[in-house]
């Protein structure tokens, strides 16, 4: 298929039409963290009491998790950014395949279901196609806690043997600091008998947020946010009212929107410690940052090329690799970006090249030669963060761009066109 044919095909999809070159000003508001909220919702399965979550972003993924939990008998009420969940009358321990297939976070239900019900059958998860994200670590952790786990016909079946049907504390050393595995084991261990120690645990803010929720529910957890987490199992957990942390990836994306358009902007609310590596790279490439109690004001200078390597937290997050590449495509000099988390996360390069970016890719490394200007074009976001990168590039490109792949974008950015429109961007959603 020719480039022209591909372009016309993209325009026929729902897309954002963006007029580039506009300066931005004002304040961009950051929603609650998607990757926290999804997991916190599954924690409702651990208690018979009502659980209220606040600052939950209105995203398609949140809607998907609502459907999954509802299919298990959880009563879910959504009102704006407040979600109330009540799992007092569970009707099943096997979410349907058609709901789970499109949402990777649905797999987080397996730990709470197992701990609460004594058994679970969860289809292998779907989500963005950015590389292998195996659930081997999750399974190893659940087995260490005493579960019998089998994988058959694309479904993971787990059960707790014996009359008591209760998991038992264990020492678990993760081969890699997987966020998902750490969270799965953390929820399962909260109701296990005895002490569990998770070594080489993920240190991401979302893990800390889950631990803080579980503690508010009555769990006994220490060390979350560090490489070793200790969990003293309790007999039961209670409900609570809990505020989800701000989304650090959305905050980072908005800071990059300011940088790529060379615009002074305030981004809030932000927890700066959650973005330390990103903030340092923004300073390195020529941005001035003023941090106050609630947010960050960014004033871009002359943007220079820098090198970035993605790493687990507290290193540079893989979820901001594509958006930062869009910025560096407009920088002076050469940048080298190395992706060390996912092996298939350079699909946005071809789309940036369609806008005039000069990027060479070898294996998991991209060499970016900054150009003086990007030009508007029809482009497609191939995953959630690639879609965000396309939006950023379109904001600074000369002329009009059409960014498709909105099904991905809507999974992680709540009402992004309205937010960007309020600070001066010219963009509109087209649904043919």
Residues labelled as active-site residues: 128
CA angle 40, 414, 308 (to 5 degrees): 85
Three-state DSSP at 387 gives helix
Separation between Cα atoms, residue 267 and residue 47, nearest integer Å = 36
DSSP per-residue letters across 62-108: HHHHHHHHHHTT-EEEEETTEEEEE-SS---S---HHHHTT-GGGGG
| CA 277 to each of CA 121, 292, 316: distance values in angstroms, whole numbers, following the listed order | 38, 18, 5
Compute φ and ψ for 70, nearest 5 degrees: -60, -35
Q: Is residue 250 packed enough to be buried (19+ CB in 10 Å), middle (13-18) or exposed (0-12)?
A: buried
How far does CA 223 lie from the centroid of its chain? Answer: 22
Separation between Cα atoms, residue 187 and residue 185, nearest integer Å = 6
Helices (H) and strands (E) counted in the chain, each on its own, are 15, 23
Instruction: Determine the length of the chain.
Output: 432
Residue 269: is the preceding peptide bond cis (ω within 30°)? yes
Compute φ and ψ for 43, nearest 5 degrees: -65, -20
Three-state DSSP at 432 gives coil
Separation between Cα atoms, residue 148 and residue 128, nearest integer Å = 29
Three-state DSSP at 268 gives strand
DSSP letter assigned to residue 218: T
Q: Quick count: other Cβ atoms within 10 Å of Cβ 48?
A: 14
Task: Please name which of 422, 424, 423, 416 lies closest in space to residue 16, comparing C-alpha atoms.
Answer: 416
Q: Quick count: other Cβ atoms within 10 Å of Cβ 186?
A: 26
Token representation of residue 336: 């080298």
């Amino acid at each position: 298929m020719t480039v022209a044919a591909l372009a016309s095909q993209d325009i026929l999809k729902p897309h954002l039409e963006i007029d580039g070159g506009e300066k931005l000003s004002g304040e961009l508001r950051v929603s609650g963290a998607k990757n926290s909220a999804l997991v916190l919702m599954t924690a409702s399965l651990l208690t018979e009491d009502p659980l209220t979550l606040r600052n939950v972003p209105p995203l398609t993924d949140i809607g998907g998790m609502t459907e999954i939990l509802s299919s298990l008998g959880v009563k879910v009420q959504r009102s704006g950014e407040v979600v109330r969940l009540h799992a007092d009358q569970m009707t099943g321990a096997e979410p349907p395949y058609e709901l789970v297939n499109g949402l990777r976070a649905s797999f987080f239900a397996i730990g709470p279901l197992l701990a609460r019900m004594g058994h679970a059958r969860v289809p292998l998860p779907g989500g963005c196609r950015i590389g292998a994200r195996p659930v081997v670590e999750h399974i190893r952790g659940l087995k260490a806690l005493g579960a019998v786990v089998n994988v058959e016909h694309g479904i993971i079946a787990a059960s707790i043997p014996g009359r008591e049907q209760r998991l038992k504390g264990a020492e678990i050393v993760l081969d890699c600091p997987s966020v998902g595995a750490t969270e799965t084991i953390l929820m399962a261990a909260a109701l296990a008998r005895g002490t569990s120690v998770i070594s080489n645990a993920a240190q991401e803010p979302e893990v800390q947020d889950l631990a803080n929720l579980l503690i508010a529910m009555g769990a006994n957890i220490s060390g979350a946010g560090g490489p070793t987490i200790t969990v003293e199992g309790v007999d039961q957990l209670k409900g609570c009212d809990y505020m989800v942390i701000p989304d650090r990836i959305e905050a980072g994306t908005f800071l990059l929107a300011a940088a790529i358009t060379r615009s002074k902007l305030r981004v809030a609310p932000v927890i700066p410690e959650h973005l330390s590596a990103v903030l340092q790279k923004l300073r390195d490439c020529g941005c001035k940052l003023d941090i106050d109690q609630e947010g960050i004001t960014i004033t871009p200078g002359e943007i220079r090329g820098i090198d970035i390597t993605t790493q687990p937290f507290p290193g540079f997050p893989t979820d901001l690799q594509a958006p930062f590449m869009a910025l560096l495509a407009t920088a002076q000099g050469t940048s080298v970006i190395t992706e060390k988390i996912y092996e298939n996360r350079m699909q946005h390069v071809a789309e940036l090249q369609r806008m005039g970016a000069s990027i060479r890719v070898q294996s998991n490394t991209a060499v970016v030669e900054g150009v003086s200007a990007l030009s508007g074009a029809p482009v497609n976001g191939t995953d959630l963060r690639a879609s965000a990168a396309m939006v950023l590039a379109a904001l600074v490109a000369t002329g009009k761009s059409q960014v498709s792949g909105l099904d991905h974008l809507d999974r992680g950015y709540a009402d992004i066109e309205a937010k960007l429109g309020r600070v001066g961007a010219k963009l509109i959603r087209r649904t043919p």
